[in-house]
Amino acid sequence: MRPDAAATWGSGASTRRWPWALGLALAASAGCSLAPRYQRPETPAERQFAGAEAGEGVAAELGWRDVFPDPRLQGLIGLSLTHNRDLRIAHLSSERLRALYRIQKAPLLPSVNAGAGATFQGLPKGAMGPTQQYSATVGVTAWELDFFGRIRSLADAALEQYLASVEAQRSAQLSLVSQVVTADLLLRAVTEQHELATRNAKLVEQAHAITSRSFELGLVPEVDFRTSESQVQLASVSVTLYEQKRLEAQSALAFVVGAALPPELPPLTPLEQVRVRAELPVGLPSELLQRRPDLLAAEHVLRGANASIGAARAAFFPSISLTGSAGFGSTELSQLFSADGFTWLFAPRLNVPIFQGGALRANLEAAKLGKAIEIERYQRAIQVAFREVTDALAAQRSLGLQVQAQEARVKANERRYALAEERYRVGVESYLSLLTAQRDLFSSQQALVEARFARLVNVANLYRALGGGWKERSEERSQQP
């Protein structure tokens, strides 16, 4: 500022220059950005997923109520979205990062403060001068003009962190929906297995009763009697084991939901009766990058790392900060706001980095390495996502065939056990044949429950892998005229 211009700041006419000066400073503070231009890294996206054809629509657009129409599953998912602590933490973390972003971008605008004060001073006897001083001022405190985009780059990095947390919250909801479905299906599976173990124990006890009478009559050797006695105890252990698993599965479900299961919740039904939408629209691999929240979050983190490079580059250049104030001062409180008491202060400051011991260059190198790391993490996240989708698609058809095969196997073993029991009662068949038939029947029934459980869980996993689960209901398509 020229000396003659500075001298005119105290006049009434020249004080009208403050808005113009402030506007020019705001325009200058917009500055430029030294961050490199962002380009999305290359992705290993194929034209379509192996083993699936891209049909109309994508699973991410399907609401979880449409994919899981089972009333009990819908009730549990609804409860978990309200009470699950992990989802609450994700939401609060997102809100916290939002507040931090607002803090980071605040220096783009000047900080204006108003203050008033009084000073009282005791002087030696006979000394001339005021013993009190009053003041009232409004001023800008150390406002940095962002010529090279350092502050803006830091704000952009904070914004990307916040946007990543928003996507992370959506990803947490996707995982939660899948976890609730899996936990409830597991509870149903172990409940069915507990019922199978109980029925199997009754069959073993019936066979043991027949063997015991035959042993008393001397029709079977003692080894058959002891074997059947041992099978009774083994069946009892199996019942106890599945009862323990059932209680653990129930506790795990309540933990995932985040609250005690209400009594009005629909009761458990067998896995065979669970209603889910098994056929999910897969879509194209490129659509996965646009809809899966964890991939979007990883890209936002990458964008933030890119913006951090701009801040590190801007640190090499000079920075200009402005400090200014205007107000009134007087030795008499009654004359504080008189025209003669007007005061002002304008203190620009230029800071030029000359020698920092290599800290600035190291900071820039660290920012570039940070971006390189985030690129690798982003590409790895894509690989993980593609693998999850591919594995779920590969298991989809296989598990369906396994269920059909296990159902046929159970029917065959049921008939085999009925024949073996009938022949054993009349003494035609040995106890070993009956025991083998009973074991095979119980084993095939357990395998059928496990196959049904795996098929239903795979639907939940595929739905999550395709980016679905953050919408409650599917969007209705607009009718074309």
More confident residue, 31 or 410: 410
Q: What is the pLDDT of residue 352?
A: 84
Please check whether residue 327 lies inside any domain of the structure: no
pLDDT in tens, 99-124: 988 888 888 888 888 888 878 776 67
Please check whether residue 312 lies inside any domain of the structure: yes
Q: What is the pLDDT of residue 45?
A: 64
Please check whether residue 296 lies inside any domain of the structure: yes
| Average pLDDT of the residues of the chain | 84
Residue 334 has pLDDT above 80, yes or no: no
Angle of helix 71-83 relative to helix 222-257, nearest 10 degrees? 50
More confident residue, 253 or 18: 253
Cα separation, 403 vs 272, in Å, equals 10
Please check whether residue 440 lies inside any domain of the structure: yes
List Cα–Cα distances, 138 to 269, 340, 344, 345, in angstroms. 72, 17, 9, 10
- Joined together, the tokens standing for residue 153 give 């780059």
pLDDT in tens, 393-409: 889 889 999 999 999 99
Please check whether residue 329 lies inside any domain of the structure: no
Please check whether residue 83 lies inside any domain of the structure: yes
Residue 69 has pLDDT above 60, yes or no: yes
Question: What is the total count of domains within the chain?
Answer: 1
Please check whether residue 41 lies inside any domain of the structure: yes
SS (H, E, C) the chain: CCHHHHHHHHCCCHHHHHHHHHHHHHHHHHCCCCCCCCCCCCCCCCCCCCCCCCCCCCHHHCCHHHHCCCHHHHHHHHHHHHHCHHHHHHHHHHHHHHHHHHHHHHHHCCCEEEEEEEEECCCCCCCCCCCEEEEEEEEEEEEEECCCCHHHHHHHHHHHHHHHHHHHHHHHHHHHHHHHHHHHHHHHHHHHHHHHHHHHHHHHHHHHHHHHHHHHCCCCCHHHHHHHHHHHHHHHHHHHHHHHHHHHHHHHHHHHHCCCCCCCCCCCCCHHHCCCCCCCCCCCHHHHHHHCHHHHHHHHHHHHHHHHHHHHHHCCCCEEEEEEEEEEEECCHHHCCCHHHEEEEEEEEEECCCCCCCHHHHHHHHHHHHHHHHHHHHHHHHHHHHHHHHHHHHHHHHHHHHHHHHHHHHHHHHHHHHHHHHHHHCCCCCHHHHHHHHHHHHHHHHHHHHHHHHHHHHHHHHHHHCCCCCCCCCCCCCCCC
Q: What is the pLDDT of residue 98?
A: 92
pLDDT in tens, 122-150: 667 666 666 778 788 887 777 888 788 88
Q: What is the pLDDT of residue 431?
A: 80
Give the CATH number, domain containing residue 436. 1.20.1600.10
The boundaries of the domain holding residue 180 are 30-107+149-316+369-465
* pLDDT classification of 160: cutoffs 50, 70, 90: very high
pLDDT in tens, 296-328: 999 999 999 999 999 898 888 888 888 888 877
pLDDT in tens, 352-383: 888 888 898 998 999 999 999 999 999 999 98
Q: What is the pLDDT of residue 20?
A: 45
Cα separation, 375 vs 367, in Å, equals 12
Please check whether residue 143 lies inside any domain of the structure: no
- Residues 269 and 192: beta-carbon distance below 8 Å: no
Q: What is the pLDDT of residue 397?
A: 85
pLDDT in tens, 165-217: 999 999 999 999 999 999 999 999 999 999 999 998 998 888 888 888 878 87
pLDDT in tens, 451-464: 999 999 999 999 99
Residue 478 has pLDDT above 50, yes or no: no
